[in-house]
Amino acid sequence: QVPLVESGGGSVQAGGSLRLSCAAAGFTFSGYLVGWFRQAPGKEREGVASIDADGMTFYADSVSGRFTVSQDNAKTTLYLQMNNLKPEDTAMYYCAALESARVPGPWATLDLGLFNLGHWGQGTQVTVSS
């Protein structure tokens, strides 16, 4: 069973918006750092945004002010609201969950190496045309 299932991807024009969702299967996000990563063709996977168990949010500079990460009160669904999308946002978007005990500090909240120790979804494609 895939522990995380993403949805909400699609194709939009530059300046448009999309909201991605990530549903947890068989567990809740309580006690987890959960986040969004993306990978464009030919590029390395990179951290986009994350939210910790206390509700603090962290963003990559490239999306700060345009993207908002949140989760529902039940802590079973993670969201990524993406506004003012740009062609360079085109990528496969993945959600990931990492046990908070594995996070050494706020500087590591978008660390791919650490998140590789956690749970991942299969991804949802976002395509932004100019």
Say whether 122 sits in a helix, a strand or coil.
coil
Residue 2 has pLDDT above 80, yes or no: no
Q: What is the pLDDT of residues 75-88, one digit of tens each?
A: 999 999 999 999 99
Sign of CA dihedral 125, 117, 49, 26: positive
Residue 1 has pLDDT above 80, yes or no: no
Q: How confident is the model at residue 10 (pLDDT cuts 50, 70, 90)?
A: very high
Distance CA 97, CA 51 (A): 10
pLDDT of residue 90: 98
Q: What is the pLDDT of residues 44-78, one digit of tens each?
A: 999 999 999 999 999 999 999 999 999 999 999 99
* DSSP category for residue 28: -
pLDDT of residue 64: 98
Q: What is the pLDDT of residues 11-51, one digit of tens each?
A: 999 999 999 999 999 889 999 999 999 999 999 999 999 99
